[in-house]
């Protein structure tokens, strides 16, 4: 059994080797992020110029550091990493984040440097995240090793493992500034010289902060071990994976990106299904799945009721669910159908999907949508509800509180909201709903795509 990697997520002391006083430089931004997140441990900076950066003393060399620091973040060119690691090891540092690129993914010289670091790992027993990583984050510990200008990372229930630097950088920045959910842990595994996707899964399944695990992978370092670990983890927590490199062009790009070797995609697909991994195929679903898992429970099944103010939407979305996704749009029980009929004009025959606009114009948008949503949520044939809200300035803009209240009343069934209409009001509704625990999705197909992913997670966790 490999040593636990928990110290990476709860370090009491850290060293930044390659600290910089220049804003915009990676060696500066990592310190700025540490300050912004309120890290409470000791911080030791190393730069030959000495001095002070953001209130922290700067040591002129690794040799001047105190012994036994928990974690070193090395932000130096690839060629300087082996010497810096050996110097840190002599001071009792056993855990490292290697930020630099320029290793095996680039050329033979980089591969030689990478091989030297592997020898150091084998000789000394240290643990390493990277190289070619933009760091990791532990929001419960108020800590990040990312060198991208993130600012404060919001705390949440979902953890990400990414074989790419961009998740800890601009994708995380998108989530921070555009979405309203947070993360528990983010692990950028990079070239995976040591800590890999299997180590990450083994740690996160035991992490009380992590409710679900979402991964971006370009390769699998040890397929047999990964499948064994995933088979255990997916029975306890949802595991969603975007495995790229499916095409010839994608495989070549993966080699250039993280030195990932190509593999047979059909074999991977079958193996993932066997061990309960829910596979996704769109990068945006990394974010949308995280949002859904942050706010709502997994649905008990794949049966949806959708409410829309347009017959064309009802028809096209029902087609989309049943022809393009494995989502059912079932008949409602007759008692439910009759309740919908009772709140609607006589000229319309109510069913699922629900043509909600006649009821909304008769009783008001909040009352019409609200009563209909409760009717379908009460129906035993329905596992989740998607209301499509029309928001335009010449029609009454409803308060979104009624949806929040309904979500609290039916905590066992997810509600995914989408919109059509004026962008201004859509953005206002998104902010209100998501800050009150109800996820929204900007395009009308997206909540159904997310529901299909969540339903597959449920089936995976309950497999025999």
The reported pTM is: 0.94
d(CA 167, CA 188) in angstroms, rounded, equals 7
Determine the distance from the C-alpha atom of residue 401 to the mean position of all C-alpha atoms in its chain, rounded to a whole number: 27
Does residue 61 have a cis peptide bond before it, meaning omega lies within 30 degrees of 0? Answer: no
What does the pLDDT read at residue 103? Answer: 86
What does the pLDDT read at residue 253? Answer: 52
d(CA 41, CA 25) in angstroms, rounded, equals 23
- Cα dist. 446→93, 206, 259, 362, 428 in Å? 46, 31, 33, 29, 19
d(CA 81, CA 98) in angstroms, rounded, equals 8
What stretch of H or E contains 71?
strand 71-74
What does the pLDDT read at residue 245? Answer: 76
Q: Are 443 and 284 in contact (CB under 8 A)?
A: no
DSSP at 386: E
Tokens found for residue 96: 């490292």
Fold that domain 297-461 belongs to in CATH: Rossmann fold (3.40.50)
- Cα dist. 426→134, 284, 429, 433 in Å? 33, 19, 5, 10
What does the pLDDT read at residue 261? Answer: 44
What does the pLDDT read at residue 18? Answer: 98
CATH 3.40.50.261-classified regions of the chain: 6-293, 297-461
Q: Are 66 and 92 in contact (CB under 8 A)?
A: no
- Compute how many other C-beta atoms are within 10 angstroms of the C-beta atom of residue 328: 17
d(CA 224, CA 328) in angstroms, rounded, equals 35
Which residues, given as ranges, of the chain have pLDDT below 70?
A: 1-3, 246-263
Dihedral sign for Cα 367, 369, 372, 378, please.
negative
DSSP at 306: E
**Domain 6-293 carries which CATH code?**
3.40.50.261
**At 235, phi and psi to the nearest 5?**
-85, -10
């Amino acid at each position: 059994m490999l040593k636990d990697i928990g110290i990476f997520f709860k370090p009491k002391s850290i060293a930044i080797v390659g600290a910089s006083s220049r804003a915009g430089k990676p060696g500066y931004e990592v310190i700025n992020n540490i300050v912004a997140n309120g890290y409470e441990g000791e911080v030791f900076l190393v730069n030959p110029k000495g001095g002070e950066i953001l209130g922290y003393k700067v040591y002129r060399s690794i040799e001047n550091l105190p012994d036994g620091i928990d974690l070193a973040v090395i932000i130096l060119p690839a060629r300087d990493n082996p010497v810096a690691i050996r110097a840190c090891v002599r001071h009792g540092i056993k855990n490292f984040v290697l930020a630099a690129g320029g290793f095996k993914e680039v050329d033979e010289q980089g591969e030689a440097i990478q091989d030297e670091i592997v020898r150091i790992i084998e000789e000394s027993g240290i643990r390493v995240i990277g190289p070619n990583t933009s760091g990791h984050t532990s929001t419960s510990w108020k800590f990040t090793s990312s060198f991208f200008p993130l600012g404060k990372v919001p705390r949440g229930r979902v953890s990400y493992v990414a074989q790419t630097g961009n998740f800890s950088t601009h994708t995380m920045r998108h989530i921070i500034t555009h979405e309203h959910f947070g993360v528990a842990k983010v692990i950028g595994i990079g070239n995976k010289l040591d800590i890999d996707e299997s180590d990450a899964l083994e740690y996160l399944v035991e992490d009380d902060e992590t409710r679900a695990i979402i991964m971006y992978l370009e390769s699998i370092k040890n397929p047999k071990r990964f499948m064994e670990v995933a088979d255990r983890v997916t029975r306890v927590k949802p595991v969603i994976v975007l495995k790229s490199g499916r095409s010839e062009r994608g495989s070549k790009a993966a080699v250039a990106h993280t030195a990932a070797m190509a593999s047979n995609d059909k074999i991977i697909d079958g193996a993932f299904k066997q061990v309960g991994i829910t596979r996704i195929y769109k990068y945006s679903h990394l974010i949308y799945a995280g949002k859904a898992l942050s706010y709502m429970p997994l649905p008990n099944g794949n049966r949806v009721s959708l409410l829309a103010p347009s017959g064309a939407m009802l028809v096209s979305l029902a087609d989309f669910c049943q022809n393009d996704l494995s989502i059912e749009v079932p008949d409602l029980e007759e008692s439910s159908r009759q309740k919908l009929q009772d709140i609607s004009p006589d000229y319309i025959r109510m069913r699922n999907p629900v043509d909600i606009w006649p009821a909304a114009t008769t009783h008001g948008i909040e009352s019409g949508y609200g009563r209909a949503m409760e009717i379908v949520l009460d129906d035993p044939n329905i596992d989740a509800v998607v209301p499509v809200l029309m928001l335009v300035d010449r029609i009454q803009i409803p308060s979104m509180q009624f949806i929040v209240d309904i979500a609290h009343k039916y905590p066992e069934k997810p509600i995914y909201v989408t919109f059509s209409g004026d962008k201004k009001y859509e953005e206002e509704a998104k902010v209100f709903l998501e800050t009150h625990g109800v996820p929204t999705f900007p395009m009308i197909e997206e909540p159904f795509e997310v529901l299909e992913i969540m339903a597959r997670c449920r089936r995976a966790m309950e497999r025999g």
